[in-house]
């Protein structure tokens, strides 16, 4: 079902939102977490139509109010999450995805960030917690601009890294703060690379 919808949507979405993905080869085989800044609800869809393998990602429960759109989201691997509480069910589903050898996409800022200067918001603990518990690598990804109709855009995917120095440690706030800072630094490096690439194009 996923690949059928993927093929049907690929051409119209690619034409409407021309986006160049750089570094797709950095996504490893097997389980990993793709951690990206979040510019719009199209972010996950663009990744889905530019890469073949199905990926799973967290999506706020409000997006599922429309039943038709909710079905499309589910077919694309969306995992419904209630952001107003600690959604244990969603956390368990994410861990199950990783343990089954699949890929999980997480937006560590927790919400959309449309900053024109491309500055990252606060990086939450989710990416670090999932990566440490599941012992999987993290692949940083940075989206240059909010997708807009017919506007050229680019997405840079960085090299995977691990948080193995935290494996086996008690995941209290102190450890998760330090691990999340590592994630934030990796994303910021990618942000600088993206910013430099845009500057060179001008």
Domains of the chain: 22-201 (3.40.1130.10)
pLDDT at 71: 80
Confidence at 169, pLDDT banded by 50, 70, 90: very high
Residues sharing a CB contact under 8 Å with residue 99, sequence separation 6 or more, in sequence order: 31, 134
Report the range of poorest mean pLDDT among 62-71, 164-173, 180-189.
62-71
pLDDT at residue number 70: 80
Mean pLDDT of 140-149: 94
pLDDT of residue 19: 96
Q: Residue 91: CA atoms inside 13 Å, Cβ hemisphere, count? A: 13
Distance CA 79, CA 147 (A): 22
> Please, which pLDDT band fits residue 116 given cuts at 50, 70 and 90?
low
Tell me the per-residue pLDDT of 3-31, one tens digit each, with 9 for 90 and over: 998 999 899 999 999 999 999 999 999 99
Residue 202: pLDDT band (50, 70, 90) is: low
Contact criterion met (CB below 8 Å) for 39 and 143: yes
Nearest Cα to 65, choosing from 86, 80, 47? 80
Confidence of residue 33 (pLDDT cuts 50, 70, 90): very high
Q: Judge if pTM exceeds 0.85.
A: yes
pLDDT at 162: 98
Per-residue pLDDT band for 79 (boundaries 50, 70, 90) equals very high
Residue 75 pLDDT: 84
């Amino acid at each position: 079902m996923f690949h059928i919808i993927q093929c049907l949507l690929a051409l119209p979405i690619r034409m409407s939102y021309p986006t160049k993905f750089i570094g797709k080869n950095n996504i490893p085989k097997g389980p990993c977490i793709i951690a990206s800044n979040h510019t719009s609800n199209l972010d996950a869809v663009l990744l889905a139509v530019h890469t073949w393998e199905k990926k799973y990602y967290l999506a706020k429960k409000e997006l599922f109010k429309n039943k038709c759109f909710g079905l499309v989201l589910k077919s694309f691997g969306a995992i419904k999450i209630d952001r107003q509480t600690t959604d244990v069910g969603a956390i368990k589903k994410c861990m199950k995805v990783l343990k089954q050898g699949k890929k999980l996409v997480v937006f560590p800022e927790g919400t959309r960030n449309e900053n024109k200067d491309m500055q990252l918001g606060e990086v939450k603990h989710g990416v670090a917690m999932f990566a440490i518990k599941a012992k999987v690598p993290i692949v940083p990804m940075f989206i240059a601009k909010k997708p807009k109709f017919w506007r050229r855009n680019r997405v840079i995917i960085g090299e995977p890294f691990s948080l193995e120095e935290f494996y086996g440690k008690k995941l209290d706030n102190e450890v998760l703060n330090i691990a999340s800072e590592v994630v934030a630094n990796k994303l910021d490096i990618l942000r600088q690379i993206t910013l430099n690439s845009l500057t060179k194009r001008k």
